[in-house]
Structure 1
Amino acid sequence: MVAMDTAVLNGAPKGNKWMKKADLYIVRTDGLSCTRETVEATGCLTFAYPSTQQHLLVWKTRPKCAMVLKKLGSELGNEFRKTVTLLQNQGLKVVVEPHEHEAWGDLAESGAITTFSEDELTMLHQSVDFVVCLGGDGVILHASYLFASAIPPVISFNLGSMGFLTNHSYKNFESDIMGVIEGVQDLGHCSMDQEMYGVHITLRMRLMCQIHRCDGQKGEEIEVLNEVVVDRGANPYLTKIECWEHDRLITKVQADGVMLATPTGSTAYSVAAGGSMVHPNVPAILFTPICPHSLSFRPVILPDYAQLDLRIPENSRGTAWVCFDGKRRQELQPGDYVNVRMSQNPVPTINKTDQTNDWFTSLERCFGWNERVEQGAATPPPKQ
């Protein structure tokens, strides 16, 4: 996600006073592999391009399969049926969850929709080209849960109560879905050999989390889109949590709890706990305490390569609890810890316009960000 780069060689200064500086490399590593870049320079290390860039989705061939997810209940039945019909008319195979396949017997019998088994869930990303979400932010979180590893691009329609992540209005669902299939953004500026069209997407970072028990057992790896929270639960005492980064103790938390959030989750629980709002393209992990028993404990933003352990010390007065995107809540005993690092599998969400405009639109629509009565102009002094 982060791009860094080299400078330009202009030659050593003339004269005998100054010797030519040593040649060097910049080595970029993600902890798994390394890339070496030669710095041919006189001393100016520069960025070749911004660290986070606009991303465009371009199909090399026409999409063949789409999944449709909607929030629970029957209230979006009409929208569900219209969406399935549109996709079917465009020649796409439509996949739905098993309970929807059972509920919509007529569509299942006609072959308009198909479903998957529990065993097929881990391979679903290899067949589904994109996902259509009908509802609010919870449906996107559910899509992230369904695709535990790689996840196809997601287009979400705002049919929920808030919908910070859902920038598409359903009244334009036909044109928006056709835009995903055929592309709307002309990529002529990319100097490609052929005419190409695409759509803007945001690669939303996820966190990979795993519980390590004091007896050496490990839990399953869980990917979260918003945040992982360790809190005191019903314990009457403040929870005590040791926070380690790459085997280095960075702080001890005495509070109601602590959370590690993604930039996407920065506008959810984290901002309610006093954390900063961070653009989803910024590669970072937010470290936000929950009601800390310290006036100096302020939220911090860590780089995306940080690897953190949230440990319950052996001398803790009680247990703690951990939850992942508000679900799968589990108890942590003294000696247990949760390992958290950046996932290699982002959630690609399809934008209405582009990454930044969509984000500020959501801030204004959902939070009324910085709304106030505008102050009038100064009254000029009376003439003497």
Structure 2
Amino acid sequence: MQGTFKKIGLVGRSRQRGLTGVLRMLLELLEARSLEVLLEDTLGHVVPNHQCRLASLEAIGQEADLVIVVGGDGSLLSAARTLSKYETPVIGVNRGRLGFLTDITPDDIAEKVPQVLDGHFERESRFLLETEVRRDEAPVGRGDALNDVVVNSGTSAQMIEFELFIDNTFVYRQRADGLIVSTPTGSTAYSLSGGGPIMHPTLDAIVLVPMFPHALSSRPIVVDGNSEIRLDILARNRIHPAVTCDGQVKIKARPGDSVHIRKNPYRLTLLHPMGHSFYASCRDKLRWSNALVS
């Protein structure tokens, strides 16, 4: 199956530690196969004397057959919000810490990247969320998220009061530091630290995790992935809560605003080397026991 991909995009964050060596390794591998390479324009100075064309992330999404993201999961989250619009498949080379999404290590590049280029890979489709903040029914901000949308007070030791609706059905009124609305992809991220469940990435579901709720009986709720979620920030709040997407896109809301969250029509196509296992990743990244019970 050699020749599956002809034009490869290389993207990442220019300040990522150890980025130069990994990019050079990838460039040598791709050039040896006579593949056309599009290098994200923000990385041009990271690998001087390169021979590939510089392009914006948008242009890479439009033109590339495959995009290799170098960095941690944050780098992939940032790229995914753009690349998902073009259905461009993505693989991740991990230069970060946990790396649930960027699962190829620099030591594995010479073995695993050629396998993917030759068509030997496992494909996953991950859905994103889209959020819109409305004020007097008019939109004042929007964003997309592969991991999660978080509404929080933004102030230490202060709660906000909001009402939660799912598919226009009232769920509860809550006083809490905020609410995490997470995809299955994000269930091993911020949602997990807030006490949310780990969800297999193939699930079509969304989890809502209250952040330090005033009511001790308040627990995470898992709902259908096609649910329409709305948070009404009560007008009597004095705090202007922040609405963040993947911890990277921030919208400032006001008392009286409503936050609308639903599944994004675009999906991220994520490629893994053959033999990839979500549960093996959990064992590795979350330090689960590797012991087998006979």
Work out the CA distance in 2 between the residues paired with 1:105 and 1:370.
Answer: 44
Are residues 1:367 and 2:286 paired? yes
* 1:85-124 mapped onto 2 (5 Å cutoff): 85-107=28-50, 112-117=51-56, 121-122=57-58, 124=60
Higher RCO (C-alpha 8 Å, min separation 6):
2
Tell me: CA distance 1:250–1:123, structure 2 relative to 1, closer, same or farther (3 Å): farther
- State TM-score, norm by structure 2: 0.90
Aligned counterpart for 1:278 among listed residues 182, 196, 199: 199
* Offset at residue 259 of structure 1 (A): 0.8
Q: In the alignment, what sits opposite 1:150?
A: 86
Name the one with the larger strand percent: 2
- Aligned amino acid, residue 18 of structure 2: E
* Offset at residue 122 of structure 1 (A): 4.1
Q: In the alignment, what sits opposite 1:358?
A: 277
Q: Which runs of 5+ in 2 are unaligned?
A: none
* Offset at residue 149 of structure 1 (A): 2.1
Work out the CA distance in 2 between the residues paired with 1:147 and 1:164.
Answer: 18
1:227-270 deviations in Å (ceiling 9; x for gaps): 11001112753111211222222222211110100101000111
Work out the CA distance in 1 between the residues paired with 2:208 and 2:232.
Answer: 14
* Alignment check: 8 A CA contact 1:352 1:358 kept: no
Work out the CA distance in 2 between the residues paired with 1:103 and 1:155.
Answer: 20
Query: What is the number of equivalent residue pairs in this alignment?
Result: 293
Are residues 1:329 and 2:268 paired? no
Which segment is superposed worse, 152-161 or 209-218? 209-218
* Alignment check: 8 A CA contact 1:150 1:346 kept: no
Classify the secondary structure of the residue corresponding to 1:104. coil
- Aligned amino acid, residue 203 of structure 2: V
Aligned counterpart for 2:69 among listed residues 133, 145, 150: 133
* Offset at residue 161 of structure 1 (A): 2.1
Aligned counterpart for 1:211 among listed residues 133, 145, 150: 133
Classify the secondary structure of the residue corresponding to 1:206. strand
- Aligned amino acid, residue 180 of structure 2: M
* Alignment check: 8 A CA contact 1:237 1:317 kept: no
Work out the CA distance in 2 between the residues paired with 1:139 and 1:351.
Answer: 17
Q: In the alignment, what sits opposite 1:293?
A: 214
* Offset at residue 162 of structure 1 (A): 2.1
* Alignment check: 8 A CA contact 2:30 2:37 kept: yes
* Alignment check: 8 A CA contact 1:209 1:223 kept: yes
Work out the CA distance in 1 between the residues paired with 2:189 and 2:152.
Answer: 17
Tell me: CA distance 1:160–1:179, structure 2 relative to 1, closer, same or farther (3 Å): same
| Cα RMSD, aligned residues only | 2.4
Which segment is superposed worse, 259-268 or 138-147? 138-147
Classify the secondary structure of the residue corresponding to 1:86. helix
* 1:1-384 mapped onto 2 (5 Å cutoff): 62-71=4-13, 72-73=15-16, 75-107=18-50, 112-117=51-56, 121-122=57-58, 124-147=60-83, 149-184=85-120, 199-214=121-136, 216-220=138-142, 222-234=143-155, 237-354=158-275, 358-370=277-289
Work out the CA distance in 1 between the residues paired with 2:55 and 2:100.
Answer: 29
1:272-327 deviations in Å (ceiling 9; x for gaps): 10100001001111111111111211101111110111221222243211111012
Work out the CA distance in 2 between the residues paired with 1:67 and 1:321.
Answer: 33
1:327-380 deviations in Å (ceiling 9; x for gaps): 2223211121221111122222212335xx521111111111256898xx9xxx
Classify the secondary structure of the residue corresponding to 2:54. coil
Work out the CA distance in 1 between the residues paired with 2:67 and 2:122.
Answer: 15
Work out the CA distance in 2 between the residues paired with 1:165 and 1:73.
Answer: 16
Work out the CA distance in 1 between the residues paired with 2:102 and 2:249.
Answer: 24
- Aligned amino acid, residue 138 of structure 2: G
Work out the CA distance in 2 between the residues paired with 1:352 and 1:233.
Answer: 39
Classify the secondary structure of the residue corresponding to 1:344. strand
Tell me: CA distance 1:75–1:122, structure 2 relative to 1, closer, same or farther (3 Å): closer
- Aligned amino acid, residue 70 of structure 1: G
- State TM-score, norm by structure 1: 0.70
- Aligned amino acid, residue 76 of structure 1: L
Tell me: CA distance 1:113–1:343, structure 2 relative to 1, closer, same or farther (3 Å): same
